[in-house]
A and B are shown apart, each in its own frame.
Chain A
Amino acid sequence: MSGLATDGPMVECRGVTKSYAKGDREITPLQALDLEVPSGDFLALMGPSGSGKTTLLNLIAGIDRPTSGSLKVGGVELSTLSRAALADWRNAHVGYVFQLYNLVPVLTAYENVELPLLLRPVSRAERHRRVEAALHLAGIADRHDHFPRQLSGGQEQRVAIARAIVTDPSIIVADEPTGDLDEASAGAVMRLLVDLCDTLRKTLVMVTHDVRCAAHAKRTLHLEKGRLVGEATRHAEGR
């Protein structure tokens, strides 16, 4: 379904630099960064505010482009894709989970999850089946006809996660998915993500400030001033 090459790392960054020209000053949130994320990995990105975590995540998710360097996701060189091709690629291969859920307020939970599927040549019945399955996996099937304003933050994030997985993407990126949640909801959301990673064999890259969240990941990388610092921390394998 995903159509991406399964051998080789899912994400492969080689000398990725991202810089913004601000007048005569240049800000470089990412500096010659090398990173590999193998398929099926659950990677947590940590680091102080402004260290470039979101920037890196956006590059991997194909909603931004590196200034220089090579960035391959699933074997596809993203920097060579056109704007339109990148949009189609995103729709087919990436699930994005946002800190603030970013659900469309005028659509119900069901319709929000259905949204990315509308871009696919999928029949209505097939769409229905997939949306229900995604809502079920995210544990929010009972609230499918509720609007976002009728849901709690944790529930909203579940809907957002359902929306991220409904297209069966090869990689899921999440930017502080628990940043706005209380501890209990945060724990539940993290367990859901871990489950998805395990059962659906998805590659997951997550940015977080919370060490307890990072603890759920298979490995954690630290970013500081646009560079990866220190060694990746391996967590207990038997988790």
Chain B
Amino acid sequence: MRLIPFDYAVRNLGRSPLRLALSVGGASVVVLLVIVAAGFVRGMELALATTGGRHNVMILGAGSEESVERSEIPASTPSLLEASVPGIRADAGVAYVSPEVHAMMPVECESTGAARQVMMRGVTPAASLVHEQVRIVEGRWPIAGQGEVMIGAASATVLGVPSAALAVGGRVRFDGRSWEIVGRFASPGTIVEAETWIPLADLLAASRRETISCVIVTLQPYDEASGEGAEFADIDAFTKTRPDLELVAMPERDYYGALARFFGPVRLVAWLTAALIATGGLLGGLNTMYAAFASRIRELGTLQALGFRRAAILWSMVQESTLATTAGSLLACAAGVWLLDGVAVRFSMGAFGLVVDQQVILVALASGVALGVAGTLPPAVRCLRPPIPEALKAA
């Protein structure tokens, strides 16, 4: 089938500058909203997927695989692990074995009075070994028994307060006491940034418990030649040798990755909202395109009379509007990258940044193209339907 030159589609765009502006503007608004939804979903997924060290294994209570806050395991587990599993990473005799308590607690920012649920992590200095991504950016590590805490870089977003309100030296309240902020840490791109870390002993006391939530160990990667190091399977096998402790082992990344599934409904709502808005935009677009094509029916009939196939004409019409929506999508993508990438959002587990990466851009461009195609086909088909003699009589 011979096609109509691409030029024809391009020049048709110039017929009505107002319509062109509407198509481009409308498409960019719709696509921008798609970018917000996709950036939200992607940001959440990435934050969860990149949280956790590559060689880290989390040992927690059987049955609590979906939320470590519910897990309770004996405080003796870390030493057992250290003694039973060769190949756990160690530097200068210090093993990378971090006993931790994870608990959601209402935390109040004393200077503003704002209070929210915050993920608290009770840690020992070993946590600084296993959580390589975590870096103290200001202040220092909190000391047990002194009423000190260290907050993540995204804490201000979590509590909904300006970051100055949570500066080092500031105070937060939980468990009916005031705690001093002695440090701030960053862990870029992970949801750990939304946490507040306090000495393990202090959190055990504050939450009145004797068990810990989990142990996180860093494995020395297994080397076949020397037989040194360990793999996840070794920790998994260890849990089998102590069935009485009711432990399960999970790669730390898998734990956070599984949380992404748990937030499926949130993602669904995000996509649904985007789809609804896109549908609204599409309906508006259909109307504009119909008006545009209806005024061209005689021309469409002429092209057919000259011998062009209807499919070729349809293709040209699709090119025309897809060109407009793609231009709009590109504008939206540019705006998305400039304005939306990295914008912090809160969610129940903490906070993460919107991510506008290649995948999101791809989704955005695809939705722009889909918008163009879906917005063109119905009116174009309708305007191509009349028989040629009738079309030639159209005004």
Residues of A at the B interface (CB closer than 8 Å) are 54-55, 58, 61, 63-64, 84, 87-88, 90-92, 96, 98, 100, 102, 104-107, 115-116, 118-119, 163
- Given the interface contacts A104-B299, A118-B4, A119-B2, does A96 sit within 8 Å of B11 by beta carbon? no
- A116 to B2 Cα, complex, angstroms: 11
Contact with A along B245-267 (1 / 0, CB 8 A): 00000000000000000000000
- State whether B307 touches A102 (Cβ < 8 A): no
- State whether B302 touches A119 (Cβ < 8 A): no
B128 at the interface (CB under 8 A from A): no
Main secondary structure of the interface of A (DSSP, over half): helix
> Given B15, B302, B305, B392, which contacts A106 in the complex, CB threshold below 8 Å?
B15
- State whether A90 touches B307 (Cβ < 8 A): yes
Contact with A along B276-315 (1 / 0, CB 8 A): 0000000000000000000000110011111111000000
Chain A residues with Cβ below 8 Å from B12 are: 106
- State whether B2 touches A118 (Cβ < 8 A): yes
Nearest Cβ distance between residue A213 and chain B, in whole angstroms? 20
Main secondary structure of the interface of B (DSSP, over half): helix
Residues of B at the A interface (CB closer than 8 Å) are 2, 4-5, 8, 11-12, 14-15, 298-299, 302-309, 387-389, 392
List the 8 shortest-distance A-B pairs measured between CB atoms, nearest first. A91-B307, A106-B11, A102-B302, A63-B388, A116-B306, A119-B2, A58-B389, A64-B389
- State whether A102 touches B298 (Cβ < 8 A): yes
- State whether A87 touches B309 (Cβ < 8 A): yes
Most B CB within 10 A of own CB, among A91, A92, A115 = A115
> Given A58, A98, A105, A119, which contacts B307 in the complex, CB threshold below 8 Å?
A119
> Given B8, B302, B308, B387, which contacts A98 in the complex, CB threshold below 8 Å?
B302
- A58 to B305 Cα, complex, angstroms: 10
- State whether A96 touches B14 (Cβ < 8 A): no
Nearest Cβ distance between residue A206 and chain B, in whole angstroms? 16
Nearest Cβ distance between residue B192 and chain A, in whole angstroms? 58
List 23 A-B residue pairs with CB atoms under 8 Å apart, sorted by A's residue number: A54-B389, A58-B388, A61-B305, A63-B305, A63-B388, A63-B389, A64-B388, A87-B309, A88-B307, A92-B307, A96-B306, A98-B392, A102-B299, A104-B8, A105-B299, A106-B11, A106-B14, A107-B11, A115-B303, A118-B5, A119-B306, A119-B307, A163-B306
